[in-house]
Amino acid sequence: MNKATFHLFVLIFLFISLLISCGIDSGLEPTRSGFRGTVRFVNNWPDQTDQVMVVAATKFLPTAITEIVMGDPLPLLVDSIEYAIYTPPAKFAAVGVVWKEKNQPWDVTNIIGIYFPTEDHWTPGNVEIENRNSMVDSIDIIADLSKAKRKVASTLEGKLNVRGTWPIAAQSVLVAALTALPSPKSSLLDVSFGIPIAAGFDSTTYTVSIQPGNYLLVTALVIEENAPIGMQSIRGIYKKKPTDFFSPVIVPTDTSHVKNINIIVDFSSSPFPALSDGGW
Amino acid sequence: MTRLQRGYRQIYKSISRCALPSLENRKSARQFLFISALICFYGRPLLAQTTGNIDGIVVSENSGEPMPGANVMLIGTVLGAVTDLQGHFILNHIPAGSYQMRVSMMGYKTIEKNAIQVKAGETTSVSLKLVETVIETPELVVTANKTRQSIQDSPNSVGVMTSRDLQPRSEVYLDKLLEYASGVNFIGSQVNIRGSSGFNYGAGSRVLLLVDGVPVMPGDSGDIKWDLIPSTQVERVEIVKGAGSALYGSNALGGVVNIVTKEASAKPATNIRFSAGLYDRPRYPEWRWTDRLLHFDDLDVDHTRRLGRSELFLAAGRHQSTGYAQTGNFQRMNASAKIHTRLNGQQNITISSNYEGGDRGTGLMWRSQRYALEVDPAAISDYVTSNKFGLNAFHHWVANKNFGLKTRLSYFRNYWKNYFHDNITGSLANRYGLEIQGDYQFSEGNALTFGTEESWDHVNSDLVGQHDQYVLSGYLQNEKRLLPTLSLTTGLRYDYQDVDVGFSDSEWSPKVGLVWHAQSNLVFRASSGKGFRAASMSERFSDSIYSGLRIVPNVSLRSETAWSHEIGFNYNPLRWLYLDVAGFMSDYWDLIEPQPDKKQTIQFINVTRARISGAEVNLKASPWLKGLSFDLGYTFMEPRDLDLDEVLAYRPKHLFTGTAIYSFGRVDIAVDYRYASRLELVKVYPQDDRVAQKTVNSRIVFRINPWTITANANNVFNHNHTQMERTLLPIRHYVLTLSASL
């Protein structure tokens, strides 16, 4: 074997060794699965709009950024726009449109539209992407720009007092204020949610940042592991007097701090016994 | 009493009378001055005619060519030198006597010359010949113990990459090069040695970066700016693995990276390097975001010469790229100067400065994996303008053959301004540092290193506000030969940190190490040391919106701490085989991690108790054929979050680097392969696809004196992977480099 042949042999050996060790795969590939649809905007665009985007949440309500997939920012000041979100196979508990105010961070609970596949606007539609080539169509959303929540100083404040024993699956408690009572004509978008409070307390205080307005119902929702949010989640209602079924709350201005909105979280009985079989 | 002793006494009296009015201060200052005077007193013989000089030359035994950059040490003293471009060195003011000299250089067998006689008032000439070894093993390092020592005498694992490893790879910035050192991984720009670091949004670093021994961590973000020194100005990089706070203080939690820059030389020399490169098209049509030709080019020039009785080194460079991804473009300039002056035979001073600045596009993350080389359309015009400036003065005084004193004064300035579509923010961080280090050689096998270090960080930033932070430290280390083949290293450092908001913290960092030369070719080592990292100002004070997420301050963040333990050996059983094996375990407390809360607000808090254990194997071999060599490194890690009983996020379990080089005639052909296993856990986007990193780079180097032509093909197989989530690493690209030493 002459020298040149030997050099060639060494080079080929090195090259083959590397090919074998590499496994010759290509690594990441473009995502080809996901879902798409149309977002139709209703009402006027707020001046403070910075960005609007479609997000999908593996859990509703999402409590961490790790539970959501974000799309591209949508064009502003349009009536409707087609969108597509490419994401690996996953099952999403909800798909919605989130509004971001100028000079404020993203708040994934600032939802102005949710995908509802039926007339029931209290139950977000699930979207399941089954495989890497699956593109789910017609995930259409109506985004109501009047539901955009500006950054305000106004708050609801009060205490949560627990009666009975916490369910084993309880994870957190959400205070929710509703501008309309749950009915076929109202929607999940009529609800303002507070920040989840970890389960297990006997008594705690809460503060909910809230837009000015009239709230017909202020409730405490207990979020349980692997269970959807529904009427059964309501374990406490704000009552000004013990004899009230529920009591409305008025937040007059965007600097108002409405205090003493105290709620008893009662695990021994349901505030809506007749409706406790799920769904809003 | 001699006239000199009377002189010292007079000076001591005058200073203590005039400058120190208070009794207490006078007492302590008198003690200080007494010690100083004592040092000077013992240094007195150097001034008398009881000393001589050694004038030497080091050449290659094979070719007879002079050997520049060889390390010369007089064993049992603090005296030493590095040969200049003509292979020449001088050691002055050596007390008369008989000495043993050790000469070492990477790629050559270390030699020792005995019975060198130094006579008073005379110069002894020596000529030393180095024999090339079959495999290149690093010889001397300076970082592990703050003194020059053989790598085999270090109780810690030390990785070394020399300019011969760096230059042929044709990368400008060191982060792209250091990932070919074993046990080193990157998450974005955050360096991770043996799993020490995760992803911290660019805030803080668990690895300390030194440039010529001086910390260069900006006071605001506390992270490493890898563009500070281009690789063309680097002589070598030393990577000390494991906690190193016993000598270096904060940030040396997971290790220390010391960039040793090129030395000025008396012989005029000019180096020019120009490289130009092209990015290939992405593998998938969905990822093709432009029809433009994506390219980059780098121009670096340096020159060294004598200037009076000084040696001068000047360097400048321009680096620009269109980027391979949207907003990956940059245009940067740098300039450096270094002047080395021998004040007399006992003292020399080095003043160096460097500047780096320019603009850089800054798309933080991809738009989606569907469009992995594009960013949020709103952020297409986002960019950062930034610059860094460092000024250092280093004074080395060899008082006598047993005692030397090093003083380092440093200033580092880091400025940046983000021009983002939704906000404009800026920051200016200044760091002032002083270190005084003493080296005392009691006897041949007993050396003491001690010193004090102070730093003051002043930050004025839109993100963290205006703040000051002070650190005061003292350290002591002893290396003692217990038996002819067994050495013990013990050390302790105290750091006191004071932050202007009334927060203060302090840490004691001990270390202990053993080195046993079981045979001439088999050395065992064991070490245990503590490390800590004080929170950076951006972790403590950040109050901003980053990628749409609000970051809130946590003023009372405690330092995170670690204990690192290591046991290992290196074995050189055959001329063509070198093996280094280490087992390691690091325990971490109070790790500072960004913690998103339920409202997507992020705060840095002390959360994690963690343990990382593992093993590392390095193999250098040159079997079968002259000119063919392999350099392989494998690291296995088991990173556990002990609080959550889960794997630690952002740490690969397996790291492998391999380089094969075949040299024949004037040509080198080389292939690098790097593998990092899939990250088992990430925190920000866990639902994203994740794959292992597999990169193959190849190159051919052709030398026609004085020119060197290098052709590189990097990421040959166009493997697509990320380190930091949603940031695709460079796709296949080709580089042609022309360099010359004139």
Q: Half-sphere exposure of A223 toward its Cβ, with a 13 Å CA cutoff?
A: 18
Look at A83-92, B44-53, B222-231, B292-301 and tell me which has the smallest mean pLDDT: B44-53
pLDDT digits (tens, 9 = 90+) for B521-561: 899 999 999 989 988 888 888 887 766 667 888 888 889 99
Mutate to test the interface with B, among A3, A29, A58, A174 (most CBs of B within 10 A): A29
Q: Which residues touch B341 (CB under 8 Å, ≥6 apart)?
A: B309, B310, B311, B348, B349, B350
Which pLDDT value is given to residue B9? 47
User: What mean pLDDT do residues B61-82 have?
Assistant: 82
- For residue B625, whether the previous peptide bond is cis, meaning omega lies within 30 degrees of 0, is no
Tokens matching residue B25: 């201060």
DSSP 3-state of B507: strand
**Among 1.10.3720.10, 3.20.20.150, 2.60.40.1120, 2.30.29.30, what is the CATH number of B3-130?**
2.60.40.1120
Q: Which amino acid is at A104?
A: Q
pLDDT digits (tens, 9 = 90+) for B351-409: 999 999 999 998 678 888 999 999 988 888 999 999 999 999 999 998 888 899 999 99
Distances (CA, A) of B453 to B405, B432, B500: 13, 11, 19
Look at B49-53, B142-146, B414-418 and tell me which has the smallest mean pLDDT: B142-146
Which pLDDT value is given to residue A272? 62
Beta strands B549-552 and B601-621, pairing class: parallel
Q: Half-sphere exposure of B239 toward its Cβ, with a 13 Å CA cutoff?
A: 22
pLDDT band of residue B135 (cuts 50, 70, 90) is low
Cα separation, A42 vs A40, whole angstroms:
7
How much of chain A is in helix, strand and coil states, percent to nearest 5?
10, 40, 50
Cα separation, B490 vs B476, whole angstroms:
8
CA–CA min distance A27, chain B (Å):
5
Distances (CA, A) of B275 to B161, B272, B292, B317: 21, 10, 20, 11
Choose the closest CB to A66 out of B284, B367, B684. B684
Query: Whole-prediction pTM value?
Result: 0.83
Which pLDDT value is given to residue A209? 87
Whether residues A28 and B689 touch (CB distance < 8 A) is answered with yes
Which pLDDT value is given to residue B548? 64
Whether residues B694 and A195 touch (CB distance < 8 A) is answered with no
pLDDT digits (tens, 9 = 90+) for B683-734: 878 888 899 999 999 999 999 988 999 999 999 999 999 988 889 999 999 9
Q: Which residues pair with B137 in a beta bridge?
A: none
Place of tokens 């109050």: B543
Choose the closest CB to A105 out of B600, B689, B719. B600
Q: Which residues pair with B286 in a beta bridge?
A: none
Whole-number percent of chain B with pLDDT over 70: 90
Closest to B253 measured CA to CA, from B495, B68, B522, B457: B495
DSSP 3-state of B310: strand
Comparing A83 with B262, the larger pLDDT belongs to: A83
- For residue A271, whether the previous peptide bond is cis, meaning omega lies within 30 degrees of 0, is no
DSSP 3-state of B7: helix
Which pLDDT value is given to residue B37? 41
Is residue B412 predicted with pLDDT exceeding 50?
A: yes
Place of tokens 């200073």: B15
User: What mean pLDDT do residues B30-49 have?
Assistant: 43
Choose the closest CB to A106 out of B286, B549, B671. B549
Q: Which amino acid is at B631?
A: D
Which pLDDT value is given to residue B25? 43
Tokens matching residue A92: 């999403």
Q: Which residues of chain B have a CB within 8 Å of the CB of A31?
A: 368-370, 689
Which pLDDT value is given to residue B21? 38
Superfamily of domain B140-741: TonB-dependent receptor, beta-barrel domain (2.40.170.20)
Chain A residue at shortest CA distance from B694: A22
Whole-number percent of chain B with pLDDT over 90: 50
Tokens matching residue B733: 């690209």
Angle between helix B23-47 and helix B3-19 axes, rounded to 10 deg? 160
Is residue B86 predicted with pLDDT exceeding 90?
A: no
Residue B399: burial class (beta carbons within 10 Å; 0-12, 13-18, 19+): buried
> A266 with A276: CB under 8 angstroms?
no
Interface predicted TM-score (ipTM) of this complex, two decimals: 0.80
Q: What is the mean pLDDT of chain B?
A: 86
pLDDT band of residue B139 (cuts 50, 70, 90) is low
State which residues of chain A have pLDDT below 50.
274-280
Which pLDDT value is given to residue A280? 44
pLDDT digits (tens, 9 = 90+) for B458-476: 999 988 899 999 999 999 9
Annotated domain spans of chain B: 3-130, 140-741
Q: Which residues of chain B have a CB within 8 Å of the CB of A107?
A: 599-600
B173, containing H or E segment: none
pLDDT band of residue B45 (cuts 50, 70, 90) is very low
